[in-house]
Structure formats: C-alpha cells, structure tokens
Structure 1
C-alpha cells in the first residue's frame, strides 16, 4: 500500500482549505484545489487525487482587487503582497470563494486569485461593527462559513463572535428587507436599520455585526447546520459551536436574543476527564486559536461519499504514479533538458504527441533505450508537459505558463498550449502586457488568438500601461513599430 507523504512546516502554516475552480474551457469539469496558508502566501497542495504522494507547490501569484485603486481600469491587476501572514482560510460555497484573515482584516480570494479586503483593515485594529472596510477587528481568527450567505469569526481576547453577512442578499438580508417593509408602515426605527443593512448587502458590501457574548474569550469556532438549540429542536439557521479555554458551547442563530448553551466542560475547571456535558473537563488551550469539527450539511452535500480504504484505481492516477517513480526500469527513452534527465515511455509519448511519433518513427522493434535532447527547453516546462502526456491534466503556475505554452506548441500538444495560455491571460498586468505582446507576436500563427486578445487588453487599459510601464511602451515602439 502507498501512503501520502508531505512535509509541511507547522510553524509556518496556519490553515488548509480546498476550493472549487471553474473549468478552463466549456464542457470540462470543475477542479478542486487544496491550498496551504504559509508565511510566504498560499501554496497549492498537489497529489491528493493520486497515489504518488503529496507535494507543496510554489506560492500562488495573488492579485489586488482593481477597485482598491482609484482611477484604475477594471481589467488592470497589480500583484498583491500580503503584509501579514494569511491565516484560517475557509471555503464558502455561497459565494464560491475562499475567505481568510490577514492582520486585522478579512480577505476574499476569487477563483482568478484576485484578493479583496471585504471587512476591516489589515493594519488598523478596533472593535467596530458596520459595513465592509468601515468595520474593525482586534485580531480575527477561526473563520467558518454556513454556506448560506454568512461567515462567522472569533477574535483573540474577545467573548463574542462576529457575523459577516455576505453581499448578494442572502437569507438574512432578505428577511431584513421584509421586516423593513412591514415596519415602514409603523415608522419603526429597527425596521429602518434593517433596511439600511439589507441595502448595504445588496450593493456589494459585507455587513459585520456582533453576536451574543459567551462567558469567556473564544478560542475555537465552527458552524453546525444540524440541531440548533435544545434536544429535539432544530432550525434551518443552524448554530455556532464555540470553545472557551475549558468549555464548549452552542449558540443558536435563529434567535438573536438566545444565550449560549453549555455542551461540555466548565469554566475555570481544568482537567482531562471524559464524561457527559458538564461532567467533562478540558485542559486550557492557550497556544493558538483552533477550529472545532462541524456538521455542515451544505458543504457535505458537495462532497462524494468515499468508502473506507485506499482510493480507487484510475488510469490517470496509475499513470501519474508510473511517471513519479521513474526511473524504475520500465522507461525506454530519456530526455535531456539542461542538466536534468527525464525518463519516459516511448509508446505513451508517441500515442499522445505527433512530435514524438515523428521523432521516434518506427524504431520500436530494436528494444534499445533512446535518448533525445531539448537543449533550449525549460526543465520545469517539460515536467508539466510529461504530466499532461501521462494524465491529461497539468497544474501550471503563472510563472511557468509562457514556457509551457511554447514547449507544448513545439511538441504538438495544442490542448496543453491552450491551457497554459489561459493561465497566462489570467495573470496579465499593466506592467507585463507589453512583454507578452512581443512574445506572442514572435511565436507565430498558433498564438494569433492570444495576440489579438492582448491587443484588446492593451487598448482597454492604455492609461494604466502608460502610467506604470512607460519604459516598456518605449521598448514596444523600438522593437515592433507595426505592433
């Protein structure tokens, strides 16, 4: 039996999350990507769908929300460099985005790796409720999502959890609108406030509010979509489970005036005692904020039921494992790229690529090992090409997209070339567009579609390019006046 293996520096990591990425082209299935929050950003965790072991990839290239810069064209994107460590990431199926903490703020990560501060301020702390960036947090931690339009967050040294009502008129905002409509006839002040809150949410801002406080500071938090109050009682609103240093509580969300109910343990009564309810005892947990396990019906419905035991054998996972264990004596071709040697199988390469079919011809009968050289290729790009040839998929980092696209075109793998170009297009910025224009123009007819789209992007963001990349524009005029 093979076991997953991966070394993750625990001091540098502060959470793991899986997100669903949309298909690159129509008809393709969505992909699931696991991310680890580390000191240097978010790093993809590859290999969870195969038998070849887990591996941490390079940090994602993150981009700032264009709306954060006044006067910035909508399509222009600047790299986003976190000022503090990203922590406590959580996937929210309601908005199809990952949310996480940075400093004193809550951030949203979109599928195109655009980062937006949705609540609070990274540098400025406080304890203010309100819309979006007007709200303030002391030190947010332990984000959790209910999958229906709301996030919940604990804070270091604070007794009450905070609620973040997401944009899009979720269930709570819709209820607020109805309450406001009913109250408008009587002129109720609370109805006016509800209407204002709903308007904020409808216009695209998160609304932050404080919930009922617990008996002590909160060190763990989770959403439970099942039972929400006493035995035999349930609510579609669910409840929050939260932990203090020595006890666990349930806070029903359907009733704003409801107090937390003790589930297990007792305040300021430490120990390690199994038992029911208040008879149990916990040792204080002071090292870090932690996340309780949760019963999340909305999230669970997205996941397939997996029987116990090893993962099922599939052709892509078996071929990925075959590639990962090379050289194992089965390879009959070696590919030299720079100072690296890749071992592969001629039959598979010929079946997948017309280039290799032409290169090897009919030399299969001699049984000898062939060696070919690609001296001007990028070794990392060839690694992605081989993975695509064996499995039909390739996780292409933005920094490698150009090299993979060029090598895929050279090796007559048009599907991989288009995947790489899609990654490249998603990373365009005002600073990089000129270089990409020159690069695409030099690549020939296979890159004509990309060149046309780059031209349109340049024209649509001309002011940003002139402001941020004046030297590159002069280079463009010098090297390709027609372009």
Structure 2
C-alpha cells in the first residue's frame, strides 16, 4: 500500500481508491485528495469500510455505496493502466483517535450479545488491545484488554490481563480475537473472547511472528521474517464476507422465501404476543402480572405441575401469586419455560438461579450458576461463597467450585480483597478454617526450591 490504496475488480481492473502513489502526508479527504504516510496494514468490516494502519494512527476509508451493489463503472484511464475513481465513486478518508504506537488491527463479528451488533474494530499496541463498536459513527477506541506498559502473560479478563509483546492478530468466526504474543522466538497464541477474557491456548512456540490469519480449515497461519508456520489449533474460521445485496433484489428474495419455523421460535413469539386472549392463567410477581398458558407451565416445570394439578387451592384459579420473587428474574425464567433457552444478564444471575431452584428448573439453575462461576474474581468470590452456602443443596456444586477457585487464587484474594476474607472469618468461621487448611495443604505439596 505505502502511500496509496488500490482496488482490484473481478475483471482484473486496478482502480485507485485513495491516496497518491507519489506523494505522502496525513491529509484526510476524498479519493486522490487524501494522503497516507505509510499504510502498512488493512482490515475490512465486510460492510463497505476499510481501516488502515498508517504510521502510528488509524485511518478509516469509507468506500462508495455503489461498490456494494454493483461493479463501479470505469472512469478515464490514467498512466500505467490505473484508473482514478473520479466523481462517480469516491472513497472518503478520515483519521480516528487511536492509542499511541498502534501495531495491529482486525475486525470481529458473530460473537453473540457480548459483542456489539455490527461487530468491532480491534487495535493493538504492544501490550494492550483496544475495541471500537462498528455501526456507530460516534464510537471511539477504548481499552479492552491488557494495559499499556504492563508486560506479562497473565490470563485474566479485561484490564486485569497482561500481554508480553503482541505481534499479530487474527479474527475468528466466533467473535474471538487470536493474538500471537510473546518474546522473540518463544511465542504463545492467546484467545480473547467477546467479553475480554484472555486464555492461552498454545505456548512455547519457537517462531517470530509478523502477521497471522485463520484459514478456512481452522488452521492458524503465522507469517514470520523468512517462513510461514501453519498450526492446527482447531480454531473457528472467519465467516465469509457477504456484501449487502441490491435493495430490489433483497426485497424480491424476501418475498419469495421465509425463514424456517421452529418450535422454540413459535413459542417465543406466542409469549411476546401476550396478552392475546389465548392465555388462561395470570401469574402476579411483585407489581407485574404475566399472562401465561397453564398447560405449558405445568408441562415444563414440576413446581407448576404440582401447584396447578395436585389438589392445591390454586389448581383451578385463573390468577395466582408468586411471593418473594423478583419480577425480572421471573420474566427470564418464563422465557426459558417457553423456548428452552434464555440469555441471562450478569445482574440477574443470582435472582434467576434462586428462582430456578424454587421452580424446580435444574437446567436453568445450573446455567446461571455456571455463568456466575465463569465470571468470578478475587473481589467477588467470598461474597459468592457466602451466598451459595445459604442457598441449600441445589447450590452445593457451585459452592465446591467457588472454594476450589478461592484456594487456587488464595494469595490474590487476600491481597486484593482482604476485607472480604475477614468478613468470611467472622460470618463463617468453619468455612474459613476449611479454606485455610486447604491452602496450607496445597502449599505443602508445592516443590521446594533447590
């Protein structure tokens, strides 16, 4: 690229997109009026925008909308067979506010609700990753994982993670970023999921990386100074980039076909339509009333089956109350009852787990507990243990997992959340004694230095 960006069309026509082949600079603008100093890395969002590393900054190149629907019409030829896009199709170049010493960039998508709907631009410095949601012109890059100057190889979430030296990025089809990180000649491959959690998936690799990409078969290709390494890590390959179709063709296709119907989808739509006159039961939770279908609740929950058909007074009632329950948690549990799946927000994990245990929904209770355990940290583990211990046998597996995590990170918990450890000693001395014995036992098994 250097000081100009070109486009190669399907008919092998090379077109100048932006910049000038013989002049450098830092000017934003349209097409050939823009100037690049040293464009060395480019990534695309799949929807008509390029992001270019130009020296130490990031430049956005917005391609003409006409290029997404049909091939651009050729303009007057220039020297050497290269054509200028002219006034018919003009790219616009703007400079983004970006971290100092940015080194690599890529675009990610398809990461579920932890990722912005239109995906995100990921930019790396040597020891940190920055993220900018796509689809919103006002978005800016924000620190996502790692810290500037905080070198290390620590697998944590977000700003608690540490990178030693980031050499390459690759975007996977699961919304994760795969980072080649490490010292010269001793690299690691680390996965960063949409929530910012960093996990090392391969280490002690004797290579020097310059760039990386995930191939269609899931192999990770790493470009070095003088070689190309291909690693079989079983990674999800990036999704094919599909450009927006012509609006008229899209309307015709939509009219000719409809999405496949599924039972969970239809039942979810039925729940969303309430009240529509089909419901025969109203469940009151707090200050909210939910219109529901008696037969479905009885079929999906042993709690409701016993309540509505077991000879209780509520069995034939058209309205029943669920006291001491959180209405937001019940709305999520109701979605699970109708569709078999629900995305529980972090703030509702505990209320949903408690309500699922009460309504005899072990799958939902287990899913909520697993999410709580996956997002635990030094500052929250003691409070989570105290909460889980008071919930009864349905939370025994979670409590065991929290104890194991606390033992593994005991020194970090004491250092970062010493007050919570003091609280545990006061409120649950037996549990504190159990953890202390476990820590002493683990320490005794550690190998002594020679």
Q: Name the TM-score, length of structure 2 as normaliser.
A: 0.49
Structure with greater Cα Rg: 2
- Between 1 and 2, higher relative CO (CA 8 Å, sep ≥ 6) is seen in 1
